[in-house]
Structure 1
Amino acid sequence: MDDAQSAVLLVAPSFNASLIGAGPTGAPLQPLFGNVDFKAYNIDFENRAANFSISQALVTDISYANASFYGCAFASYQDTWYTGRNASTYVVDSIIYGQTDCEPALRLLSAIFFINKFADLFGFGTAWFEKVTLANRACGGGIVAWKGTNLTDAPGNRYGAYISNSRIIRSPYANATAVTDGKCFLGRPWNDLATTVYLHTFMDDSVEPVGWTPFDSARPVIMNTTFYAEYHSYGPGGNTSARIPLEHVLTDEEARAFTVDKLFLGRPEWIDHEYVS
């Protein structure tokens, strides 16, 4: 399903550029770029389509744009956060409420700093989440579902989701009957070029010990072109000893390659580096 028009916040240069599209390649590539410096501070975004999962209910759709968020909250159930094609996003000191869907399209939620909500994040661009809390309302698939593409289609775009100095927890607002212990995968590949990296992240016991899962029964193998990595995960779900063999447990030297400046190929002017929580 492609219902980007239901997003609470949509930052894109055209309607077609906002579309998500299905499958590994998504909606057709657009020769457009929109807002180069969108910023939001201390705003709560909520999609009130229902108080339970009803398929996609996006809070954000950021596509073909640069956008950053400071001290915000993002609330929905399935597919809360979307960083779209050729988009770059940065989220800090924020919270994301959501759940991982139980069917094929798992999304990476939202994040809010020091707050206990969980998020379902999905995307096709480059997203950095710093000091966020991902609070699970329920678990079924992966916390993050991401796509990648070749640099011919998006020169300079380092596709992937990067979660740093953050927390993964069960939401205190989760339904009492929702079973989350050992049920939440860290991610699954929306296509075979997916990249997801967790750095210095607390993980509660909702995290599945193997960490990562294939997309669905039609694509039952995680290919070696997919890059999944962790560095200094901690907490009950942070033990990497049972992770899938494909995962990279980064060394100190390897982890130094994952910084905001290196991922965005320079010090991004569209990020407020002076922000203090």
Structure 2
Amino acid sequence: MNGPRDKRTARLIRVDGSGNGDFKKIQQAIDSVPSQNNELVFIWVKPGTYREKIVVPEDKPYITISGSKASDTIITWNQGRDLLQSPVVSIFASDFVGRFLTIKNTFGTSGIAVALRVSADRAAFYGCRIISFQDTLLDDSGRHYFNNCYIEGATDFICGNAASLYERCHLHSTSDRGGAMTAQHRNTAEENTGFVFLGGKITGSGSMFLGRPWGDFSKVVFGYTYMSNVVEPEGWNDWGDPTKQRTVSYGEYKCYGPGANRAKRVVWSRSLSTDEATKLFTKDIIGGRAWLRPAPSHFKTH
């Protein structure tokens, strides 16, 4: 599949819960896109709260789902306990874009409850709010870009084995004590995956760790990030398995704020060199120049 020839023009589908659009439900709009879709599709969601589980299937690439602002365009569901069954929104199609949406799992504090699962290559999210308690964002597989997003949770709330760049994102911990913000799942040194956080800020209540290793070769780095005093002085946790200390890649570069002091950091985390930072803190790590695309400038309704 070579993709759309015209990358500026999208087919417009309007979703309005009050009935003034093409569909009342977001899933109905997705279902209307033909299998093996090969044109840009822009699903414009009018303000409202949409209580539905959403799946973008693998055979429907090039879809954008966009609100006007995240605070008034809310997709919500209440399901937990199962990592793969609980997500409010699941993305399986490549070349997906989410814009200005709140995606919220209201299951609460009694276990796994995923808000967003991204299991596809080349997915980008702009100005979204992604909210739950445990495993909020299953950043599962593929190359992904998150820009100016708000992500909230208490335990392993960004987890998975994608290769992702988080630029200017706000991470907010609701952990009382010792929760981990990230649980990256890289299993071998050969895998080109990991979470890179560039700019942005970390806030919260209680205390939390920057990450712990779901996979033996877990890889997470923070650069130029504001860290409030919610970050534990040790910074990182080995999930009760000291053998992983030898294989994880946890690094920080020119972070600031009361939680960024590395004086008491675990010795198996690192301050990145300028050379390392120059290579990591760029869209090149996700091949972004080849697939990140601007919002369409022209629309057609048929």
Do both proteins adopt the same fold according to a TM-score greater than 0.5, normalized to the shorter chain? yes
**Is contact 1:167–1:202 with CA below 8 Å preserved after alignment?**
yes
2:127 paired residue number: 71
Structure 2: stretches of 5+ with no match in the other structure? 1-80, 297-302
Which of these two proteins has the greater Rg computed from alpha carbons? 2
- How far off is 1:215 after superposition? 1.4
What one-letter code is carried by the residue in structure 1 that aligns with 2:140? G
User: Residues 123 and 211 of structure 1: is their aligned pair in 2 closer, same or farther, counting only changes over 3 Å?
Assistant: same
Cα displacement (A) at 1:206: 0.8
Match of 1:128 among 165, 170, 179: 165
**Aligned equivalents of 1:141 and 1:271: distance in 2?**
35
Pairs aligned (count)? 215
d(CA) in 1 for partners of 2:290 and 2:239? 32
Match of 1:168 among 182, 194, 202: 202
Q: For 1:230 and 1:151, how far apart are their aligned partners in 2?
A: 19
On the 8 A contact 2:188/2:216 being kept in 1, the answer is no
Residue 67 of structure 1, CA deviation: 1.1
Superposition deviation, residue 244 in structure 1? 1.2
Q: What do you get for the CA RMSD once the two structures are aligned?
A: 2.1
1:234 & 1:254 partners in 2: Cα distance?
18
The structural deviation recorded for 1:192 is 1.3
Asked whether the equivalents of residues 158 and 264 of structure 1 are also in contact (C-alpha less than 8 Å), the reply is: no
User: How many angstroms apart in 1 are the aligned matches of 2:288 and 2:145?
Assistant: 14
Secondary structure in 1 matching 2:85? helix
Decide whether the 8 Å contact of 2:226 with 2:260 is kept in 1: yes
- Counterpart for residue 58 of structure 1: 114
Is residue 150–residue 170 contact of structure 2 (8 Å, CA) maintained in 1? yes
The residue that corresponds to 2:94 in the other structure is: 36
Aligned equivalent of 1:143: 181
Retained in 1: the 8 A contact 2:218–2:248? Answer: yes
CA contact (8 A) 2:184 2:195 kept: yes
1:258 is aligned to 2:280: yes
- Report the CA distance between 1:273 and its aligned residue: 9.1
Listed as ranges, the gaps of 5+ residues in structure 1 are 13-34, 101-106, 108-119, 172-179
Counterpart Cα distance in 2 of 1:166 and 1:58: 22
Residue 56 of structure 1 aligns to which amino acid in structure 2?
I
Aligned counterpart, 2:83: 3
TM-score, length-scaled by structure 2: 0.66
1:9 Cα shift?
0.8
Q: Tell me, what secondary structure is at the counterpart of 1:256?
A: helix
Which residue of the partner structure matches residue 115 of structure 1?
none
1:255 counterpart SS class: helix
Question: Whose strand fraction is larger, Structure 1's or Structure 2's?
Answer: 2
SS of residue paired to 2:106: coil
Contact 2:202–2:227 under 8 Å retained in 1: yes
CA deviation profile, 1:59-109 (whole Å, cap 9, x unmatched): 111113321111111111111011113x22211111112112xxxxxx2xx
TM-score when scaled to structure 1?
A: 0.72
Richer in helix (by share):
2
Structure 1 match to 2:268: 246
For residues 100-119 of structure 1, the aligned pairs below 5 Å read: 100=155, 107=156
